Structure 1
Amino acid sequence: MIYLKAAVVWLIVAVVAVFAVSSSGMIEVAANREHSGPVGWILETAREASVERQAASIDVPELDSPDMQLAGINDFDAMCVGCHGGPGKERSSAGRGLNPIAPDLATVATERTAAEIYWATRNGIRMTGMPAWSASHDDQSLWPVVSFISMRLPDLDSAGYAAMLEGATGHGHHSGDSGGHTEGDGESHEHGNGADQANDPAVPATEEHDHSTHEH
């Protein structure tokens, strides 16, 4: 019984200590300062393990369609370059100010499965600046981006990226946006309600998309 009482006392002390530190203003929240080593390790480990676990049940469609990849590079250029950069393209001013800095997706593609890339793209990641693109894009709009990142991005240099982007005219939901959203301006793109289930994705549509009704 004495041990139980001692445990309760220490629990109360710990709760009070956490509250006191949290409300004191001593915890650093500035984005231009790095996390301490232990905090950074905990956040990174938890993030990677969570994405891996939650992506395990996702059914990945065929991603090697050339049309899908052409749609994907247009959407990548509009949606991802501002924060992550790309071959021959620098991050925007907003992207350079993120903490943690958004990773190079060419490297991510060699380390993460397509399902994991899709899950992160669709759901976003807390405390990183990565948005949940499902808020404005349905699953058919997201798989082409995953196709391009997973299948083509690691092999492209700046010249190859520019050539592929030029040849992608008319493909994808952002076919008229290439080069227009690399400054991370946060403009909205309404492309569906994102209600599709992550473990039951539809086969992505690859036909030309009429974007005249969308605000950019």
Structure 2
Amino acid sequence: AELPATPPLEPGPLLLVDRPGSVQSSLRIALPAVSRTDPDHAPLQLANLIFGGYFSSRWVENIREDKGYTYGPHSGIEHSVAGSVLVASAEVATEVTGPALLETTYELGRLASLPPKPEELEQARQYALGTLQLGMSTQAGLAALTSAYAGNGLRLDFLAEYAARLAKASIDDVARAGARYLAPARAAIVVLGDAERVTQGLAALTTVHTEPKQ
């Protein structure tokens, strides 16, 4: 069946879902992304890795290693037949909900406005190429890749093409992808947490719309 494309993300007020008494806040930030075959996909994948897609990323260094706001922040591109989206996720202590969002939007804005350092790009590139190879090293991994690619109408020979795209993506390519897809102004943000304790801090950063208690 032919599915209609998902509508574009609509940035707007931060959606705060009230969960009274919650000791943690769940942050979910959705940003636009592209399909696996789009020319922007490889540069965007590298930009995402630099931002928050693996343990050596800026976001992990900032809100986990430096500030201790969370244990495992992570961002990744999610693909479906109807469309793709980049989602950043973190669980943070209630009392640092506002500061965690501030640092998150700072890191997104930094990557959207400044090109990455050459060593950052090369580290992300080697990680992306290495995990691609590891994904094919077992029967289970190869089966998972085959099924994921089949869902997008691709054959396994696309792997070689995609690896070549990762290998040749330049700093300028990644900087353009960051500016186009990772700008905080393009994000749809949802926070689930104790509204009584987190609203003031979040409202200092952006407009907040609060959903009823859950």
Q: Do both proteins adopt the same fold according to a TM-score greater than 0.5, normalized to the shorter chain? A: no
Instruction: Decide which structure has greater strand share.
Output: 2
Name the TM-score, length of structure 2 as normaliser.
Answer: 0.31
TM-score by length of 1: 0.31
With a CA cutoff of 8 Å and minimum separation of 6, indicate the structure with the bigger relative contact order: 2
